[in-house]
Amino acid sequence: MIMSLLWLRVAVFLYGIAALAVLPAALYDRPRWRHIAIPATIAAVLFHFVSLAEMLNAAHHRMPVDTHETQTLLGLLLALAFLLVYWRYKTVSLGVFILPICFLLGLVPAFHPSQESTTVPFVHTGWIFLHVALLLAAYAALLLSLLASLLYLIQERRLKQKSPTLTWLPPLETTDQIALKALLFGLPCMTAGLLIGSLIAQVTVGASYFRAPKILLAFAMWLVYIAMIHIRRIAGLRGRRAVYLSSFVFFVVLAVWAANQFSSVHRFTTP
Amino acid sequence: MNPSKPQSRHQLKPTTTQGRLVLLGINHNTAPIEVRERLAIPSTRLADATRTLLHQPGIREGLILSTCNRVELLTLQDDTGEAANTQPQTKADLLRFLHEYFSVPSSDIQPHLYEFREREAVRHLFRVASSLDSMVVGEPQILGQVKESYTIAREVGAVSTHLESLLQRTFTVAKKIRTETQIGSSSVSIASVAVDLARKIFGSLQGKTVLLVGAGKMSELAARHLIQQGASSILVVNRTQSRAEKLAADFASPTVQTEAIPFDDLYGQIPRADIVITSTGAPQKIFGRSHGQHFLHARRNRPMFFIDIAVPRDVDPRMNEVEGCFVYDIDDLQQVAAANLADRSREAAVAETIVSREVDKYHERLQSRDAVPVIKALQQQAEELRQAELARSQSKLASLTPEQRAAVEALTRSLTAKLLHPQLTALRESTRPKDTD
């Protein structure tokens, strides 16, 4: 078996343990389970990182070119985001959603590795890796923000209904901070990712590249993202309207992602 | 076991060779306040009382727990002599101590007394320290009170080997119950429920501003709870400005900024507050739904928490429909407190299971510890016999080579060990608790 696959399977197994342990840790506030969930996630992230590095090294390219490699990197970034939130806010509640996502994102690449390969020479440069990693970090931040906004909505509803017995939900101000800071973190990532991608495209393909609808959609996504942050900051948007706005941007991002799967532009793999 | 019921089943047979554990006391279930207050010992006199208890005949170690809800004497008594083996005698001795020390007739105390011995005394102590026997189950103060009694008893030399290990185990069990159950995680008083709700909205209360509209004991109490949790600014509004100023001065401290606001400025100043506690005697509502919208707009949608303690209410309940406004009246707070109390009862059932398990473990450990000296004595006796027999045969074994001597040595050791094995096994088994216990 390829070593990278073995490490990925170990990481997926650990994500599975963490995803199960985080349920009693968050829902019933059992510290003992938190002591399993957090170390399991840290170990999973380490194995995941080693697996990804070996996977890219074995494929002799620095860019996660196929769907599985991209999924793996996104899972890794989400797990890192969860650990970062735990370190800063001492809440594991988001893990109830994020850790199963990490588990599922790793599951398919771990047991059905992709056979896709690439012949495009420029994917071997470090800039390309940065472009992909930064954009995936922005996606992860957006997903985190959406989940935090959803938790805000649930907590707000419980408080409004005068039945605040769900102790596992973080305070409103905490979830609001997580949602906003995740967006603020995602913005420079998305901007830099798009900028690096544009420069590479300009050098390798030329100006015609920017006339493709899919590429234009990516820039539209960036504008929507900026608009969302602006509205949230200026109007102090919270609660239901913030969730609607985050969901809208999230679906724009999903559309960009899906377009990547169906269009031949900006695709560098051969089955 | 409920202490309110008289104990009919005691473990009369001593389970330890190191003394008899007896716990005698009264609590809020067995005695009215009129009796409890006559037996209450202030902390300044606890050392003297413990010393006096220790000087009673037959008492080897002792500890007195005295709180507003209970007075309990935990003693380790001599288990030699016939008097000590009779239950009524030891009870009478402790009763006499209570009678003499507090000058309260025994007849006034006896009907309210409960008594636990050995295993049940351990169970009761674990339950008390874990707050399972408290008036408000899960309240956190009792463990501190048990620790304080322990510290005093230790200082006067009333706690040594046996009670030391029992009390250390008690603290471990109480901590375990705190961490493994949620018995103390939810608030059951109105003021603490209000603080809990504020924390669910704002997280940390550090730097938050509280506005008191009107004055009342409960609103003051809630404000003090919020200050304890980190609220750093108190604004006070009252129709009588001098009363507002007096109340603001009462709250002033190096860490808390206070300000008395004229009643006319109320609506203009209210957006400064994160938490508003209202308890005016106004006959109609002073805050409507539209006020909520206006306040939120002025605060750029930062949430506001209204605690309406007034009856009739000061805040229109429809303000709760405004996104970012959370309005709780006195009934809402009481309902949350009642729900939390029900949660605590569920957690108490889990805690009782932990206590039972821990009592078994403690008992098992105690009994194995009691068996150790007997086992050692048997082994030593057997070894002495073996050495004596070898010495007797010294002349006959003189011609043996060193290897043959070693073989004989090993043979005799093995024989002794095998002969002792059934007895030692039986002894260890006998110290283990029976399933039927």
Q: What is the DSSP string of B157-225?
A: T---HHHHHHHHHHHHHHHHHHHHS-TTTS--SHHHHHHHHHHHHHSS-TT-EEEEES--HHHHHHHHH
Same domain, A148 and A235: yes
Same domain, A108 and A35: yes
The pLDDT value recorded for residue A120 is: 55
Q: What distance in Å separates residue B177's CA from the closest CA in chain A?
A: 12
Same domain, A129 and A100: no
Q: What distance in Å separates residue A21's CA from the closest CA in chain B?
A: 15
pLDDT, one tens digit per residue, over B265-308 is 999 999 999 999 998 888 888 999 999 999 998 988 889 999 99
The one-letter code for the residue type at A231 is I
Same domain, B113 and B247: no
Q: Pick the last residue of a domain from A63, A96, A117.
A: A117
Of residues A167, A172, A236, nearest to B185 (C-beta): A167
The one-letter code for the residue type at B5 is K
Cβ contact A167–B186 (<8 Å): yes
Interface test with B, best of A91, A173, A233, A237 (most B CBs within 10 A): A173
Same domain, A113 and A133: no
Q: Pick the last residue of a domain from B319, B338, B357.
A: B338
Cis peptide leading into B312, omega within 30 of 0? yes
For this complex, say whether ipTM is above 0.90: no
Sheet architecture: strand order including B233-237? B257-261, B233-237, B209-213, B275-278, B304-308, B325-329
Q: Which residue has the tokens 């009390």?
A: B167
Would you write out chain B's pLDDT as a tens digit for each of its 437 residues?
344 333 333 333 334 446 789 999 999 889 888 888 888 888 888 899 999 988 888 888 999 999 888 899 999 988 765 544 555 566 777 888 888 888 888 888 888 999 999 899 999 999 999 989 888 788 888 899 999 999 999 999 999 888 999 999 999 999 999 888 888 777 777 888 888 899 999 988 999 999 999 877 778 888 888 888 889 899 999 888 888 898 888 888 888 899 999 989 999 999 999 999 998 888 888 999 999 999 998 988 889 999 998 888 899 999 999 989 999 988 888 888 888 888 888 888 999 999 999 999 888 887 777 677 777 888 888 888 988 888 888 888 888 888 888 888 889 888 888 888 888 887 777 666 544 33
Same domain, B69 and B161: yes
Q: What distance in Å separates residue A92's CA from the closest CA in chain B?
A: 15
Is B134 contained in some domain?
yes
Q: Pick the last residue of a domain from A98, A117, A136.
A: A117
Tokens standing for residue B120? 């049940």
pLDDT, one tens digit per residue, over A187-232 is 899 899 888 888 887 777 777 666 777 777 778 888 888 888 888 7
Same domain, B56 and B176: yes
Q: Pick the last residue of a domain from B180, B211, B235.
A: B180
Of residues A29, A159, A240, nearest to B201 (C-beta): A159
Going by C-alpha positions, the residue among A11, A82, A72 that lies closest to residue A40 is A11
The vertex-A10 CA angle with A137 and A74, nearest 5°, equals 15
Same domain, B172 and B206: no
Q: A110: domain CATH number? A: 1.20.120
Which range of residues forms the domain containing residue B33?
Answer: 20-180
Same domain, A155 and A262: yes
Q: How many domains does chain A have?
A: 2
Cβ contact B201–A173 (<8 Å): yes
Q: What distance in Å separates residue B233's CA from the closest CA in chain A?
A: 19
Residue B73 phi/psi, 5° resolution?
-110, 120
What is the C-alpha separation between B131 and B354, in angstroms, rounded?
13
Taking the CA atoms of A180, A182, A187 and A190 in sequence, report the sign of the dihedral they define.
negative
Same domain, A67 and A199: no
Cβ contact A31–B200 (<8 Å): no
Question: E strands, B54-200, where?
Answer: 59-66, 70-77, 114-117
Is B99 contained in some domain?
yes
Q: How far is CA B311 from CA B84, B275, B283, in A?
A: 61, 19, 9
Same domain, A207 and A143: yes
Same domain, A21 and A81: yes
Same domain, A125 and A105: no
Which range of residues forms the domain containing residue A91?
Answer: 1-117
Is B364 contained in some domain?
no
Beta-ladder partners of B236: B212, B260
Is B41 contained in some domain?
yes
A161 shares contact with chain B (CB less than 8 Å): no
Is B35 contained in some domain?
yes
What is the C-alpha separation between A21 and A14, in angstroms, rounded?
10
Same domain, B269 and B248: yes
Active site residues of B: 68
Q: Pick the last residue of a domain from A117, A134, A164.
A: A117
Residue A269, classified by CB atoms within 10 Å of its CB into exposed (0-12), middle (13-18) or buried (19+), is middle
Residue of A nearest to B347 (CA): A28
Same domain, B55 and B162: yes
CB-based contacts of A115, cutoff 8 Å, min separation 6: A271
A159 shares contact with chain B (CB less than 8 Å): yes
Cβ contact B199–A159 (<8 Å): no
Beta-ladder partners of B259: B235
Cβ contact A164–B179 (<8 Å): no
Same domain, A148 and A210: yes
Cβ contact B303–A163 (<8 Å): no
Same domain, A131 and A191: yes
Same domain, B118 and B245: no
Beta strands B70-77 and B59-66 are antiparallel
Q: Pick the last residue of a domain from B130, B153, B180.
A: B180
Q: How many domains does chain B have?
A: 2
Going by C-alpha positions, the residue among B34, B36, B26, B20 that lies closest to residue B3 is B26
Same domain, B104 and B212: no
Same domain, A113 and A125: no
Same domain, B222 and B166: no
